[in-house]
Structure 1
Amino acid sequence: MRKTARIPRLTAVLAAAAAGALALSGTMPSNAAQSPEPASAPGLADAFRTAASQFDVPRELLVGIGYAESHLDDHDGQPSQANGYGLMHLVSNPSNPTMSEAAKLTGLGVERLAKDPGSNILGAAAVLDSYADQAGLTAEARKDPGKWYEIVAQYSHSADGPTARLYTDEVYKIIGTGVGAEGVSTKPLKVTPDRGQYANVAPLGTRTPASIAAVDYPGAIWNAASTSNYRVGRTAAITTIVIHVTQGSYAGTISWFKNPSAQVSAHYVVRSSDGQITQMVAEKDTAWHVRSANPYTIGIEHEGWVDQPSWFTDAMYRASAALTKNIADRRGIPKDRAHIVGHNEVPGNDHTDPGPHWNWNYYMQLVNDGNPPPQYNFSTYGTGVRVRSAPRLSASIVTTLPGPTQVYVVCQVQGDTVTAEGVTHNWWSKLRDQGGYMTNIYIDHPSAQLPGVPICT
């Protein structure tokens, strides 16, 4: 039987909405219901406790979903790759309506649900509550987190059964181990999930002869992206590996790449917690991840968010580096920062991933069997040695190096022919990165090489 509606006492539950009337395109109409402004903002722990009580959803379940989706970070209201918002990832895309459902159920506007953590938690609880009602979950059953398995799977709006099980199993794993995030904690809780219709769904990662044959990297799990999200074949030789961050969860990213409306994909996705790797596009085919550079690149997505270093675990670094090394060795790609680049370093792209928290020095050491990539000491002479932002003549000049001096550079890609101070050649060199400070900085014309060191190409 349908319970009476549980409309929250807003002044006791919600944090103040952000000032202004910034609209979230593609989410809800501008006349969506707005609530009164509360007088004060509770902490996350109180928000989870209140939402759980208000909507009869186990608190451990709410926290588990939030941690799986965002590590309990709202990312300042920035959307995920799938157009999801907040630490509970309320989504607005053609296959996931949780944002609009939350707005309808709570009477809160999309702006608040997206940008206010307390409202976001409340909206997710309301959606889960409505799914529990639809499933006929009794008041007694609601007390057992294990009885919510199918409801959590529904909340994910995954593309298929195996992906829904991947998502939901991760939530229950978090419930079992407990959460110790800043301001919010749960004790480890032993739960027996009632998987219902998912009991007979093979978990993602179950290998078959066909899936083993499909992967290019033996350590990967095959789970194909929608054919609407990549192009069969290549129009250029593969020369570059691109490092991405998903701006979302592992399961959510896999599900998004399987969604025909996404119009985006990558060859591989790497999980944060243990480095599990899923391949979604064959390397011989063109994934859509870096615009005009798609034809000659292989894309590797990493679970997490660019502004949150907690996602970049050692397990992820090691698994991804092993994958990158394997690709480079198989395809003859130099294992250096000329050919292993971030999304933000590819011309014609406006993304910032993998961001300032990605440890390039450590990653490249792992790719090179624990050794740093080769760096060479070039002598320069004269004055006004130009330092550019990319290996091409049209790139902006960011500074000059007074001469004579010596600089350490990394072998870099072939570039345009450069004539300067009586020296003509067609190769460029890159200044050594300094924790991101000197990323993508090139010098025009190192005038002398160390004896025995080959020309950088």
Structure 2
Amino acid sequence: MKSKILIVAGLLALSGTTAAHASTETAQNPLAQAFDRAAAAYDVPRDLLVALAYAESRLDGHRGEPSASGGYGIMHLVSNPTAKTLEQAAKLTSKPVVALKSDDAANVLGGAAVLRAEADALGLGAAQRDDLGRWYPAVAAYAHAANDATARIYADAVYETLAAGVDARGVQVRPRPVQPDRGEYAEQPRALAAAVDYPGALWVAANSANYAVSSRPSSDRIDRIVVHVMQGTYAGSISWFQNPAAKSSSHYLVRSSDGQITQMVREKDRAFHAKDWNRRSVGIEHEGFVDNASWFTDQMYRASAALTRDIADRYGIPKDRTHIVGHVEVPGNDHTDPGPHWDWAKYMSYVTGGSVNPHTPEKVCGSGFKVIDSAALGTAGTVYLLYNTTTGSNCVTTIKRTSLGTATATSAYLEVQGSARKTDSGNFSYYAGPVTAQAAGKCVKWGGKAGSSTYDSPFEHCG
């Protein structure tokens, strides 16, 4: 017998479809008009169509750029080795693929056509299509997920969005209570058992082609945590990492709406997420896109920070920005995540339980510089010596650890043997430096001051 479960009770007792959800906003807004027309053309509930699109993309088409799993546009029409909803939409609508990728109206029309096709394949008749709850299996099928467990995560997200309502880009859906008829998805899948390493997570295994079995930390020391952004949705990324075509994975994934965590690779094994750092790091993927800050909720930050803190404590990883890094900071890769909207100061304050300097010595000194030495300045900060093998230059910076955001006396200096000392000294909020100099084949003195503590090195690091 099919199960009906009330996701969210609301104040509105609305029923039936809203394929022609006319309003003054719709009359003035091209995207709202696109949803109305697509819903009417394919007899799909307009509000459900909007909720699906919002759950997929926050109504952001990303200028026609694909997601990590090959999905395009507001409706995330996919073209990858195992899912071809983009091509299916082109056939159903007679729209060219290039338009479906980058034109919002065409993409919405394509999504409506694919969703209706899924409903038809399930035998959903005209009367049944008037019941929003009966669309649940069609929404789950739209995901083209790797298994029922992932399809349920996807469909639940859409119905939760419908219940919460949408107000974005001039498109509105009023919050409404819906009883989803989950049908074959009614039972909680067994795949969502307790995770292996982090008690707060669910467990869904990645495909074995997407990671390397290992025996860390005995085989390789774990000393870094890498923060990623999925360039896609939580359910979509879980499904993609279950696809052998992905050739990528992450140890953990974090959902935007509530911070739910799924583990897909055991920490002892090497997830394929950070190239040369796969051996030494644990990867955490976060739902969303780097160019849209709305995905980065406080729930996500807090849940991810708790996970990071747990990993750091278990492996003795320092809770600082040298050891907890973004994908963009990993050497030898071309990724930009977590991007400019990721709030490192907030995230690290949640990791440590206090204020954290968002600046790293590598960022202060610039591309190509790597830390080769450091000295603690009491609890007030740390002075770092870096070297660039390409240019033969050294760099020194003092990174504060207290009085962050407040200008206090801080300094950094570098002296190449045979040359005059170079110093950056003053009242700084976060760091002193960078102080750089050519030093290939020469010894250097370096040091700095923060608070009442000072460090002065001898001539060293020669050659």
Q: Tell me the TM-score normalised to structure 2 length.
A: 0.76
Larger deviation: 134-143 or 97-106? Answer: 134-143
Residue 251 (1) aligns with residue 232 (2): no
Q: 1:292 to 1:190 in 2, by over 3 A?
A: same
Question: Is the contact between residue 394 and residue 436 of structure 2 (CA under 8 Å) also seen in structure 1?
Answer: no
Correspondence for 1:230: 211
Correspondence for 1:219: 200
Correspondence for 1:422: 417
Shift of 1:453: 6.7
1:223-302 equivalences under 5 Å are 223-233=204-214, 234=216, 236-302=220-286
Q: Deviations over 1:411-450 (max 9, x none)?
A: 9xxxxxx994239xxxxxxxxx999xx9x97867743345
Residue 447 (1) aligns with residue 447 (2): yes
Larger deviation: 43-52 or 447-456? Answer: 447-456
Residue 331 (1) aligns with residue 315 (2): yes
Correspondence for 1:138: 125
Question: Is the contact between residue 388 and residue 398 of structure 1 (CA under 8 Å) also seen in structure 2?
Answer: no
1:7-406 equivalences under 5 Å are 43-202=30-189, 205=192, 207=193, 211=194, 214-233=195-214, 234=216, 236-373=220-357, 387-389=365-367, 390-391=369-370, 392-394=387-389
Identity rate, percent? 51
What is the rounded CA distance, in whole Å, between the counterparts of 2:324 and 2:133 in structure 1?
Answer: 43
Output the amino acid matched with 2:272.
Answer: W
What is the rounded CA distance, in whole Å, between the counterparts of 2:392 and 2:254 in structure 1?
Answer: 36
Output the amino acid matched with 2:239.
Answer: S
Question: Is the contact between residue 163 and residue 204 of structure 1 (CA under 8 Å) also seen in structure 2?
Answer: no
What is the rounded CA distance, in whole Å, between the counterparts of 2:108 and 2:359 in structure 1?
Answer: 49
Which consecutive residues of structure 2, in runs of 5 or more, have no partner in the other structure? Answer: 1-27, 371-386, 403-412, 419-427, 438-444, 458-463
Question: Is the contact between residue 166 and residue 204 of structure 1 (CA under 8 Å) also seen in structure 2?
Answer: no
Q: 1:397 to 1:55 in 2, by over 3 A?
A: farther
Output the amino acid matched with 1:264.
Answer: S
What is the rounded CA distance, in whole Å, between the counterparts of 1:358 and 1:65 in structure 2?
Answer: 25
Question: Is the contact between residue 166 and residue 203 of structure 1 (CA under 8 Å) also seen in structure 2?
Answer: no
Question: Is the contact between residue 145 and residue 239 of structure 2 (CA under 8 Å) also seen in structure 1?
Answer: yes
Question: Is the contact between residue 343 and residue 351 of structure 1 (CA under 8 Å) also seen in structure 2?
Answer: yes
What is the rounded CA distance, in whole Å, between the counterparts of 2:78 and 2:456 in structure 1?
Answer: 51
Shift of 1:263: 0.8
Q: 1:266 to 1:396 in 2, by over 3 A?
A: farther
Shift of 1:231: 0.2
What is the rounded CA distance, in whole Å, between the counterparts of 1:174 and 1:316 in structure 2?
Answer: 17
What is the rounded CA distance, in whole Å, between the counterparts of 1:56 and 1:134 in structure 2?
Answer: 15
Question: Is the contact between residue 161 and residue 201 of structure 1 (CA under 8 Å) also seen in structure 2?
Answer: no
Shift of 1:290: 1.0
Question: Is the contact between residue 344 and residue 358 of structure 2 (CA under 8 Å) also seen in structure 1?
Answer: no
Shift of 1:455: 9.8
Q: Deviations over 1:309-328 (max 9, x none)?
A: 00000111111111111111
Shift of 1:200: 2.6
Question: Is the contact between residue 228 and residue 283 of structure 2 (CA under 8 Å) also seen in structure 1?
Answer: yes
Output the amino acid matched with 2:210.
Answer: N
Shift of 1:128: 1.2
Q: 1:330 to 1:107 in 2, by over 3 A?
A: same
Count of residues paired in the alignment: 383
What is the rounded CA distance, in whole Å, between the counterparts of 2:56 and 2:329 in structure 1?
Answer: 27
Q: 1:118 to 1:327 in 2, by over 3 A?
A: same
Output the amino acid matched with 1:301.
Answer: E
Which consecutive residues of structure 1, in runs of 5 or more, have no partner in the other structure? Answer: 1-40, 378-385, 412-417, 424-432
Q: Tell me the TM-score normalised to structure 1 length.
A: 0.77
Shift of 1:182: 2.3
What is the rounded CA distance, in whole Å, between the counterparts of 2:78 and 2:429 in structure 1?
Answer: 38
Correspondence for 1:22: none
SS of aligned partner of 1:448: strand
What is the rounded CA distance, in whole Å, between the counterparts of 2:237 and 2:306 in structure 1?
Answer: 21
What is the rounded CA distance, in whole Å, between the counterparts of 1:171 and 1:302 in structure 2?
Answer: 18
Output the amino acid matched with 1:227.
Answer: S
Shift of 1:42: 6.4
What is the rounded CA distance, in whole Å, between the counterparts of 1:323 and 1:347 in structure 2?
Answer: 24
What is the rounded CA distance, in whole Å, between the counterparts of 1:321 and 1:376 in structure 2?
Answer: 18
Shift of 1:73: 0.5
Shift of 1:96: 1.3
What is the rounded CA distance, in whole Å, between the counterparts of 2:346 and 2:91 in structure 1?
Answer: 47
Output the amino acid matched with 1:146.
Answer: G
Shift of 1:373: 5.0
What is the rounded CA distance, in whole Å, between the counterparts of 2:456 and 2:189 in structure 1?
Answer: 52
What is the rounded CA distance, in whole Å, between the counterparts of 1:264 and 1:100 in structure 2?
Answer: 24
Shift of 1:339: 0.5
Question: Is the contact between residue 387 and residue 399 of structure 1 (CA under 8 Å) also seen in structure 2?
Answer: no
Question: Is the contact between residue 249 and residue 304 of structure 1 (CA under 8 Å) also seen in structure 2?
Answer: yes
